[in-house]
């Protein structure tokens, strides 16, 4: 049985020269790598999903990564009521106003 690899975040080599040397040698041009746990994966998925025009099914993301939905429900309602987001068919999407303050919106939901 094959195990799925540990989810991780990586950073590419910053030097273009070193990057090319590694790539041409058939190696990944990584500077570093860090494992991601459920909380980090939740934060990544939610924040990246909110960058999409189609938004993100925020409740499904909460459930997938073991994060509680209920404490976030009032904040989602506030974001919608104040014009920072829309909620359609369970998908939370930022409005133009919300996209301008993406980081602050994410911080409120994390």
* pLDDT tens by residue, 45-55: 999 999 999 99
My answer on whether 17 and 29 are in the same domain is yes
Quick one: angle between helices 102-109 and 38-49, nearest 10? 140
My answer on whether 21 and 66 are in the same domain is no
Tell me what pLDDT residue 4 has: 52
pLDDT in tens, 91-105: 999 999 999 999 999
My answer on whether 41 and 25 are in the same domain is no
My answer on whether 91 and 61 are in the same domain is yes
My answer on whether 43 and 31 are in the same domain is no
My answer on whether 41 and 86 are in the same domain is yes
Burial class (CB in 10 A: 0-12, 13-18, 19+), 36: middle
Between residues 78 and 4, which one has the greater pLDDT?
A: 78
My answer on whether 96 and 65 are in the same domain is yes
My answer on whether 95 and 76 are in the same domain is yes
pLDDT in tens, 19-61: 999 999 999 999 998 888 889 999 999 999 999 999 999 999 9
My answer on whether 47 and 89 are in the same domain is yes
Q: Are strands 30-35 and 56-57 parallel, antiparallel or unpaired?
A: unpaired
Task: Name the domain count of the chain.
Answer: 2
My answer on whether 25 and 44 are in the same domain is no
Domain that holds residue 12: 1-35
My answer on whether 57 and 104 are in the same domain is yes
Given the structure tokens 């058939």, which residue do they identify?
Answer: 26
CATH number of the domain to which 57 belongs = 1.10.10
- Position 10 confidence tier, pLDDT thresholds 50, 70, 90: confident
């Amino acid at each position: 049985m094959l195990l799925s690899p540990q989810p991780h975040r990586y950073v590419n080599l910053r030097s273009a020269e070193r990057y090319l040397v590694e790539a041409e040698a058939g190696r990944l041009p990584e500077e570093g790598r860090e494992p991601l746990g459920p909380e980090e994966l939740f934060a990544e998925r939610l924040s990246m999903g909110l960058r999409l025009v189609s938004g993100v099914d925020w409740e499904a993301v909460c459930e997938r990564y073991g994060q509680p939905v209920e404490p976030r429900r009032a904040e989602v309602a506030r974001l919608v009521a104040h014009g920072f987001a829309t909620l359609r068919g369970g998908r939370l999407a930022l409005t133009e106003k919300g996209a301008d303050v993406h980081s602050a919106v994410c911080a409120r939901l994390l």
